[in-house]
Structure 1
C-alpha cells in the first residue's frame, strides 16, 4: 500500500459505483462474489494480463452496502496502461455485470493513495417511516422503519456526536486499529414528497460498523424509545452498548470521497497513517 509507484508502473485512479445487494462486501474472498474481486478479474481479462493487479480502495464497504462515489487505485505496468487506457472503460463495462461500474480511469497525481490520501468520506443512509412501507421501486436502497420518526429529535441527538471522539462504543473493534475518528457531519432531512428521511454522515474515516451503529442509535431516538442525550452518553461510556442496534446495510450508500490538492496528497497520506490519541489520553 505504498505511496511510491514502482518504476515502470503507472498509478491509475478509478471512480466507481455499485449496487451492493449481491456482493459479499468490497474485499475479495474465496468463493464469494465481491466488488474488489469483480473489478480485478475484469481488469485482468480486458488487459489480457497473466496476473491480477490489486486494488486499494478509499473505504471498504460491508456486504449489502452500495456506493456511487467510491474511489480506488491500481498500479499497472506502463505498457499495459498505454495500450488499454483509451478503451478501458468501455471494455470493463462490457465485461462486468450491470451492478458495478467504473465511471472514470485516469493516471493519478504523484503521492495519490485512494485510502490514505482521502480527507473525508460521506455516506447517506435512507429510511422511510410511512405506515404503508417503502416505495417498491427504491426498496433496495431504503430501510423501512415501522414507527414514526421525529427528525428534530434525531438532529438534536446528532448535534452532540460531531467532533473528534473515540467511537469504540459504535465500532466493531479490530486488533491494532484505533477507533478515534472525527465525525464532521451527522444530519437528518425529510423529503416530504417521497417520505424518505436521509441521514448524511461524514467523517475523516470510519471504523467497522460505525455508520450503521450510529444510525441505529438515531432511529431509537427518533421513534421515542430513547431520549436525545442517550447516543452521546453511550459514546462517552466508550464500550459497546447492547442497546445500540446495527441497522441493515441496504439503506447505506457511499456518496463521495474527497481529496486535497495534488501537492498535498503525499502529506495527507503520511498524516492519515499516524495512530491517533485524544488530547490528554495516555500512550498505553
Structure 2
C-alpha cells in the first residue's frame, strides 16, 4: 500500500509541478496522513480548479484521484440583449456594439450559450409563465407596464436573435477588431473584452460550454463512481443559469429572477464543468478547464458591460 501511495504521489506531484514534503522516514500511518495534508494544502494554492482529492483502494492497487471543478459561485450568467440593441442604434457606441455582437454570436453559435427566444430554452418557459400569469390576473399591480416589458422582450429578442445567430457576425469578428478605434472608456472596455473572446474563439473554435458538464454531476468512471445516473435531475443544469435574456431592469426582470432563484433553492447543487484525474501509473488525461475558466470570465464581463 505504501509503495503504491508514494508512486501515485510522485506522479501527481510531477503533473502539478509540486515539491512534496519528505515523509517516508515517518512510521505508517502517520507518514500517509502527513503527506495527504501537505499535498492538499499545496493543491489549494497551485490549481485554480482543485476541488477534492481522494485516495482510492481498488483490488490490490492504491492511488490518488483528483476532482477539478469550475466554481461558478451560484452566479446567474444572463446576458441582456435589449441594451445591446440600444447600443447598436446609438451612433456614439454603434461600432463598440458591433464588437459585442460578434462576441455574442460566438457565444451562441460556438460555445452553445442558450437563447431565451428559442422554445427549447429554460428562460423561454419562464417568460411564457410570466405572460400567462399576467393574462390570467388583470388586477396585478403595474400589469400594463409588465405587459409592455414582455412585449419588448419578445420583439427585440426576436430581432437580436436573428443577428446573434447570423454566422457573419462571427466571420467579421477579426475584421471589426482590427478596424476598431476606441474613443472613450466604454469603447476601451468593449475592445478588451472582444479581444479576450476572440482569442478564446481562435484557441477553442468548436468547444462548447457543456463539454465537461455531466448529468447530475455524476461521471461514469470506474475509478470514481460505480453508481448509475439518477433518472431525476437533482442539480441546477448549466443551461438554466447561463443564457441570453432580455434585460436586467424592470418588473419582469424582478419577477423572472425571483422565479428562477426560488426554483434553484430547491436544489442542493449546481451543474458545473468538472474533470477527474487518476494517478495510477497510467497515462493522465490531458483534459483541463482552461477554456471554461476563460469563458466564464468573458460571460461575467459581458454581463457587467451590458447591465
> Is the pair's TM-score, using the shorter chain for normalization, greater than 0.5?
no
TM-score by length of 2: 0.21
TM-score by length of 1: 0.23
The structure where strand makes up a greater share of residues is 1
Q: Pick the structure with greater CA Rg.
A: 2
